[in-house]
Amino acid sequence: MAPALDPIIDVAQLHELLDRGADQGPPVHLLDVRWALDGSKGHHTYLEGHLPGAVYIDLDTELSAPPRPDAGRHPLPDPEEFAASLRRAGVTADSVVIGYDDSGGAPAGRLVWMLRALGHEAAMLDGGLAAWDGELSTADEHPAPGDVPARPWPADAIATADEVAAGGAVVIDARPAERYRGDSEPIDPRAGHIPGAVNLPFTGNLGEDGRFLPPEDLAERYTAAGVRPEGEAIVYCGSGVNATHDVLALQRAGFGKVRMFPGSWSQWSADDSRPVATGPNP
């Protein structure tokens, strides 16, 4: 069953969820997903101040399996291992999970997309930590274990490299333009992009205030790139983190047939049999 909650909520909606009584809805779990590729953000930044009651969850070790050339830098974790991480964070089967970060929503988007793909109610706090209007806590939260079950990753949410190559879907590259063009590639084996992919960096989903654009503006952005309500879109990035931001933006804009390529460019570029395009055009 698809989640009913909008994938992006503001702080007023978060307060409504947190303030409701136990008889008015399921419990709410806050998960802090602050992360940076260079290690500058993580559990240590969580301890410096986080939303009261929030539990830290690590993107590298709990939202990803170890890197592999045939699966990319952030493969999806084994379903049972992911469920165990959620239980450690106190998540229950009937709960609503709200994820947040402090870097535009991509790390939190990874968590929220994973949960929503599995049919679990989850949303991202728009604006992240900076949007919170209350006190912060420095407690290292260790809640009672949850009971969320393990569920297999659904095929209708995930695309394989072969499915990306087969065509038939609008393929969206969520990386910065310079990496899409192949001007530079600081991380992965080859520079460039998947042939035919259009470049829509995830940061374009945000306004100058760092919040998501309204649904109608997001719809205009993706429609201009060729996405249609009746068609399918597949999104990728470097390793399956930033791409989830575009997936949630597409869902917020009303596009229902959206999948993510988890291995993304880190998997594609590591396979010498896969073609690579460079330059500003698909």
Burial class (CB in 10 A: 0-12, 13-18, 19+), 112: buried
Query: Which whole-number Å values give the CA distances from 196 to 91, 153, 233, 282, in the listed order?
Result: 40, 26, 12, 4
Q: How many residues can be counted in the chain?
A: 282
Q: Which one-letter amino acid corresponds to residue 74?
A: H
The whole-angstrom separation of Cα 238 and Cα 267 is 9
Give buried/exposed letters for 244-254 (b at 16+ CB in 10 A, else e): bbbbbbbbbbe
- Active-site choice (237, 247, 250, 260): 237
Write out the E strands in 101-195.
122-125, 170-173
Are 239 and 264 spatial neighbours (Cβ–Cβ below 8 Å)? yes
Residue 237 falls in the annotated catalytic set: yes
The rounded distance, in Å, linking the Cα atoms of 260 and 255 is 13
SS3 220: helix
Tell me which amino acid residue 255 is: F
Alpha helices in the chain (DSSP H): 11-19, 43-48, 79-88, 106-117, 161-166, 177-181, 215-224, 242-252, 264-268
Catalytic residue numbers read 237
